[in-house]
Amino acid sequence: MSQQSLIEINQNGQHHQANFTSLPELDIEAINKELGQVDAHTLVKWGYETFGEGLVMSTSFGIQAAVMLHLVTSIVPNIPVIWVDTGYLPAETYRFAEELTERLRLNLRVYQSPMTPARMEALHGRLWAEENVDSLNRYDQIRKVEPMQRALKELRATAWLAGLRGDQTNHRKELKPVGQQSGIYKILPILRWNARDIYQYLTAHDLPYHPFFDLGYTTVGDWHSSRPLTADDVDERDTRFHGLKQECGLHLPKTEGESQSLDSSLL
């Protein structure tokens, strides 16, 4: 079978080549014209019908993670669910993950950096504590991007379902429901949803939200890079990464320029 090469970032933030199974050739522009206005359930069904066992999804077990997890597994119950555990998540996130994994019977696949937090800090310092974009980007490459790329490779993914919404960051406003990233297709079922849609889905299915929501958090990641929303914040994503950037790099396309600078825009 032919293979397609993609750029992968290793644990030291360097680039090397990895091989993925070649993808079906799809006309993304035509697909977005056809599916751009369909509901989330229809888009997930299309993804499974099109990619079958090559379809995976990711979760951060964030504030509203139960929405995508319930939505997708109600259609594809045994889909591999990739969770990148940085080793710096709040205790509440780990407990929330256990609750949802048991309740929804998730086929959870946990990936971590081969470099432990202690080793990383010994070699590179507390990258997450330095208020400059280069250090934050290196942290994200080591703890988030490399494990995610490895997960996609090991699971032989040809398409990736993610819970991005267009109202979250400037980068996401420009996205389409179906695209490509990291050498595979990317499907965003709730891209056009807003906060009210999320709340209505959670309520209709009696789903929990992350306990940090009650503490004023609108988004949560690592304990050291998330804080509650305040009256001074212009955007909810300002509560992440010391307000220096909006994206952690997992959902940025890896063109050569963007791989070198991840500060332009999630987890």
Residues serving a catalytic function are 248
Half-sphere exposure of 195 (CA within 13 A, CB side): 7
Instruction: Name 94's Cβ contacts closer than 8 Å, sequence gap at least 6.
Output: none
Nearest CA among 22, 67, 5 for reference residue 41: 67
Instruction: Name 232's Cβ contacts closer than 8 Å, sequence gap at least 6.
Output: none
**CB-based contact 217:210 (threshold 8 Å):** yes
Neighbours of 57 (CB within 10 A): 26
Please measure the distance between the N-terminal and C-terminal CA atoms of the chain and give it in whole angstroms: 33
**CB-based contact 84:147 (threshold 8 Å):** yes
Nearest CA among 192, 164, 122 for reference residue 251: 164
Nearest CA among 6, 245, 7 for reference residue 140: 245
Give me the phi and psi of 20, to 5 degrees please: -115, 155
Spatial distance between the Cα atoms of 63 and 221, rounded to a whole number of angstroms: 9
